[in-house]
Chain A
């Protein structure tokens, strides 16, 4: 039971955020607060998408092997963005390669996901089955250290990477597509917030308030005045 709850840590956050956001949207009278609620609601969806694409121990989807040397600088950056924790977990390539054989490799077109979806039915998770936890839950990340192949390890130690290239033609990486998708959705969200705030400013100019109750009052009065006229 505890396992079930903890393994879905991200989803609980998503649900809590989503409901909080929706509640704020419906309950708050202040237009700016409504927009903040809307933002929370959207953020929950962003987290949801990111969770969907994340594979435990997966790295950023970058070409490895021959390309390692040339794209050294990029690797370093991505490694940092990827996850702070992995810094300490740098492994020797042999360990990593061994670990990978036990793992399900995530392919770009998410065939792994497909298989997973049908296989387990009740699980919402995209991660390989034997890695049932998400590494955003830091405790899990620690315990599954063995499953990590970090970009960091190779970036820091190019000599090692040479030999590792053959062993690691199949690198475990997170599914980039949901992350890219949600980037689009974030842009849409920012635009929505901007338009919403702009309208709120205009409402403030026109009505002198941004409290929904007062606005409704004024609108109703206007309607009554029209009707009697």
Chain B
């Protein structure tokens, strides 16, 4: 049974950066990564070009099965059609270290309820084939309201140095309680802008703080140029700090 671990936080804090490093160092085989962000960039950070690999995002797949109208006109057939597309190998990108599924950007009017519902179903079906599933969330809280992952093992919240992050922690708890999402561990992580002063100021909560992701000009440079973060050297400050965070959470590291 795969452990489902979710990475969340306010926008721009570094959720996808952390997820990418997590994917690199976590000792779990097989490992499934899911990018739930319509504005998603996890694939790019992992150095994967889904288009070139001929892979569809969930939104692409929905557009294909519904939008084209050639397979179905009824949304109740969609889960089965989507399952078939997965079996045909159109959706899951397979790498040596991980498999990857992305939600993708939807162009049609309306919300992400249907794509999210589909990915929820997909996680439910697939997670038993994996030792671990890592879910990279979109910014904000709405994904929690949709209850895409009802049973979370570790919930990582990446914080930026602002009072808003402190309030964000409270809002996460409020929503998870309200919609009945369970988690075993609730972990806080400081982003690259954290300082000692910020730590003492913000961390007045009883939640477990795992440490901060070290500031690293290489990460900034790679993100600016859109290059894979997996190429960042093992001994760079960011890599070292994420391994430390993982050890703090009791994870096996490769």
Mutual binders A and B: no
User: Measuring CB to CB, which residues of chain A are less than 8 angstroms from any residue of chain B?
Assistant: none
